[in-house]
Structure 1
């Protein structure tokens, strides 16, 4: 499987995770989640609403991040994506930097509204392509947004799962642990165990992630390609063969 095929497979997997949603919002610098949300809408008509920050034609927000936060507080966003320089086994994410804060080196972009959205959006999918012990750690160096909260804390939102270039994990909120649900064809259980810094639940016969439906791949090419190119032209040129 080529690099572009791997990315298309991730897009198709994300689409399947979103078809039970009505409104999906996607933050900046998120071409694969954005394409997945648009693909789900094109394939099944759900989500009905997709907002990609930075887009003109695929974004009905007029107030930028402020309107996104208002929608989340009103319970009008069903799914969102978060990443992090570090993600640990309790689904905590670190967006500040490696090492002890405030002396972190290197420094990363910062937390922005990640903790706010993590508490409010019911289906937060953690997405990080790089799957290594550098990124998936036992404990994050700084908690930008916590994966779970104490019982007395009001919280509607939280992590649904973690998707990487090697596999998909579901998050068990009661146990505060990830469970490996599938291994991508380009990886293996041994590979994931070797490259994951936190403990997680798994079975010896964990299934292989299903190959993308050819009909979905065709829809991705015909319907989604031009839409995602509006925001991410370089990404689109990278994963799709040039027309003509």
Structure 2
């Protein structure tokens, strides 16, 4: 029995989604994807190209100043410089394989809300807005969203506002992994520590799935490598 935390499982699951040779981007406040990209490069995807919001390419290590995943150290430790405007251009030309993006509210049709909760003109909460998501979700080959919260207010039947729609690939949460398939958000796997009933109780729409699959647990090698590459435990920052 290998002991691990949910942040470990999610980071390893994200790393497993990445393939060797892919060009992958993460933005600000993306500590978990940042660590997952390092993990993938270390274990099974040495030719993965790691891009980030300050413009660093393949930063060699996770340094203590990387708390925001947008620090200058990611450029200083990088092999070269690739600025943000070029990343948008790369994605719109169909050359960005994976983009890690955020959102606050998601519905069964794959719509993402990062703008407002409630009525747009009189919102209960005004959110950060689309920013890069509005460009990168429609244009990246695979858009992956991670959330450290899974409840009926996050996964809803219909979002309050459509910031961007479609072209999602996967959403990973502390309970499960969703995949966008045939125009709907479907259950891809549930994590080993939970049940289908719990996932349904915490989801505001009826789950769609072909069969019940379980997310692969982290291996001892993955966990050992995580401790080496992420000694400051940035993968757990959002919990």
Give the TM-score, by structure 2 length. 0.82
Residue 191 (1) aligns with residue 198 (2):
yes
The match for 1:144 among 163, 185, 198 is 163
Residue 118 (1) aligns with residue 143 (2):
no
Q: Is the 8 A contact 1:131 1:164 kept in 2?
A: yes
Residue 25 (1) aligns with residue 25 (2):
yes
In structure 2, the residue matched to 1:235 is 234
- Closer, same or farther in 2 for the Cα pair 1:4/1:211, shift >3 Å? closer
Residue 67 (1) aligns with residue 67 (2):
no
Deviation of 1:122 (Å) = 0.8
The match for 2:188 among 165, 181, 185 is 181
Residue 34 (1) aligns with residue 34 (2):
yes
Q: Secondary structure at the match of 1:165?
A: coil
Alpha-carbon distance between aligned partners in 1 of 2:122 and 2:108, rounded to the nearest angstrom: 24
Q: How many residues align?
A: 217
Q: Secondary structure at the match of 2:10?
A: helix
Please give the residue correspondences for 1:1-244 in structure 2 after superposition, counting only pairs within 5 Å: 5-20=5-20, 22-53=22-53, 54=70, 55-56=74-75, 57-58=77-78, 60-63=80-83, 65-147=84-166, 158-172=167-181, 175-202=182-209, 206-222=212-228, 224-225=229-230, 235=234
Gaps of 5+ in 1: 148-157, 240-244
Gaps of 5+ in 2: 54-69
Q: Is the 8 A contact 1:26 1:81 kept in 2?
A: yes
Higher percent of residues as strand: 2
Deviation of 1:31 (Å) = 0.9
Give CA-to-partner distance per residue, 1:105-130, whole Å, 9 cap, x none.
Answer: 21111111212111110111122121
Alpha-carbon distance between aligned partners in 2 of 1:218 and 1:120, rounded to the nearest angstrom: 35
